[in-house]
Amino acid sequence: MNATERTIIEQFGYWRDAQGLDLGSASLEPGVPIVVIGCGTSYYLAQTIAVSFVSHGLEAIAVPGGEWNLRPESYVPIQKRIQVLALSRSGETTETIAAARRSLGRGERVIGITCEPGSSLTTACTACIAIPTHPEEDIVMTTSASLMLLVGLKLSQHGSGLTVSGVNHAQSMLERARLKLDALVQDRTHFVYLGGGALYGVAQEGALKLMEMSLSYSQAYHPLEYRHGPIALVDQATLVVMLYQPQTLQEETALVNELRSKGAAVIGVGGPGDLSLELNEPDPALRGLIALPTLQWLGERVAQSKGLNTREPRHLTKVVMLS
Ligand code: F1P
């Protein structure tokens, strides 16, 4: 087993520890709209977390760190009172740190989530939650992505979030996927991730993971958007990951049937597909968290099928710092 595989498979112990984390000092102010920021993986997690806040009654929006730093007025009306939740594994990403500092400078409350206790983010926040990740994790975010999503969702769900059985479920989904994924990825070169609402951020994170790890072009869409143009690309080389929601199972199944009739192979997370992975968690954002390790594993397997080492993805560095 290589180091990336270990960071995917061994992550559940870290999840269990994170469940017990006391978020007391990092609480958000009730009733004040939240801007969730981050870059790359951390931005996609921010999207799912923002939707979860909205689902639990709070106004929230996800904005890329660079955008929040350069043009906050494009996302929130000037003078509106807001608070910020900033995500960064490294706690050093230039745009996220600059955006957090600017928010602090405007008098906004800034809560940070990072995996690096001594990082710059901890000094750019009102309060910061630091949650160390798997020591073998390198450029590609695996355990850390799940941990930051787990903590962000816990904040959005008033301290509750993923249950013990949810962690077990994520682990058993990954175990099942490990037995089945290799057969499905054979001869597939076009990768599509579909998820709506809270699952759109997770779909984007799945697509990013696969792109970084396997140097394959991948796309993420809201499910029903896929019919409006991108479906033209579907053929026998297409592999689709459909992140189902129980409330929209019918519409999403109809789409999957259409994609399969055009040659796509489908991994159905929580619904039908060539590989159907059971998912009985009702909360959409938690469904995404449960599915995340399986999506990470998919990236690793496609990389291995192309003979690529996911410790050294082309052009990437562990921390993106702009001079
Ligand atoms: C996240 C990020 C990742 C990318 C790479 C470098 O930064 O840009 O999206 O895959 O691993 O880091 P952060 O969470 O450290 O701010």
Q: Of all protein residues, whose CA lies closest to atom 12 belonging to ligand 1?
A: 319
Structure tokens at 229: 């143009």
Q: What is the best residue among 89, 94, 143 to mutate for testing ligand 1's pocket, by most ligand atoms within 8 Å of CB?
A: 89
* Whether the Cβ atoms of residue 298 and residue 310 lie closer than 8 Å to each other: no
Inter-CA distances, 317 with 3, 19, 138, 139, 208, Å = 17, 29, 9, 6, 15
Confidence (pLDDT) at 68: 98
Q: Which ligand 1 atom is the nearest neighbour of the CA of 40?
A: 9
Confidence (pLDDT) at 39: 98
Q: Closest Cα partner for 157 from 249, 304, 52?
A: 52
Burial 24-34 (b: 16+ CB within 10 A, else e): eebebeeeeeb
Q: Which ligand 1 atom is the nearest neighbour of the CA of 139?
A: 11
Q: How far is the CA of 247 from the centre of ligand 1 (A)?
A: 33
8-12, 21-25, 136-140 — which is least confidently predicted?
21-25
Q: Of all protein residues, whose CA lies closest to atom 16 belonging to ligand 1?
A: 88
CB-based pocket (< 6 A), ligand 1: 39-42, 88-90, 93, 96, 139-141, 212, 316, 318-320
Q: What is the best residue among 93, 213, 316 to mutate for testing ligand 1's pocket, by most ligand atoms within 8 Å of CB?
A: 93
pLDDT-derived band of residue 160, with 50, 70 and 90 as boundaries? confident
Q: Cα(206)–Cα(193) distance, rounded to whole angstroms? A: 7
pLDDT-derived band of residue 303, with 50, 70 and 90 as boundaries? very high
pLDDT-derived band of residue 97, with 50, 70 and 90 as boundaries? very high
Q: Please classify residue 1 by burial: count the beta carbons closer than 10 Å to its beta carbon, then call 0-12 exposed, 13-18 middle and 19+ buried.
A: exposed
Looking at every residue in the chain, the average pLDDT score rounds to 95
Q: How far is the CA of 310 from the centre of ligand 1 (A)?
A: 14
pLDDT-derived band of residue 25, with 50, 70 and 90 as boundaries? confident
Structure tokens at 77: 């009306």
pLDDT per residue over 184-228, tens digit each? 999 999 999 999 999 999 999 999 999 999 999 999 999 999 999
Per-residue pLDDT, averaged over 62-91, amounts to 96
* Whether the Cβ atoms of residue 131 and residue 115 lie closer than 8 Å to each other: yes
Where helices occur in the chain by DSSP H, the ranges are 3-9, 12-19, 41-55, 65-70, 94-105, 143-156, 164-185, 198-214, 249-261, 284-305
Q: How far is the CA of 319 from the centre of ligand 1 (A)?
A: 6
Q: Of all protein residues, whose CA lies closest to atom 10 belonging to ligand 1?
A: 140
Per-residue pLDDT, averaged over 295-315, amounts to 92
Model pTM?
0.97
Q: Kindly list the strands in the beta sheet with 238-243, ordered across the sheet, starting from the edge strand earlier in the chain.
A: 218-221, 190-195, 238-243, 265-269, 275-277
Confidence (pLDDT) at 181: 95
pLDDT-derived band of residue 173, with 50, 70 and 90 as boundaries? very high
Residue 194 sits at φ, ψ, to 5 deg, of -120, 130
Q: What is the best residue among 43, 141, 316, 321 to mutate for testing ligand 1's pocket, by most ligand atoms within 8 Å of CB?
A: 141
Q: Residue 84: CA atoms inside 13 Å, Cβ hemisphere, count? A: 34
Q: How far is the CA of 119 from the centre of ligand 1 (A)?
A: 14
Q: Cα(190)–Cα(259) distance, rounded to whole angstroms? A: 13
Confidence (pLDDT) at 319: 85
* Whether the Cβ atoms of residue 164 and residue 172 lie closer than 8 Å to each other: no
Q: How far is the CA of 223 from the centre of ligand 1 (A)?
A: 26
Confidence (pLDDT) at 236: 97
Q: Closest Cα partner for 99 from 120, 69, 63?
A: 69
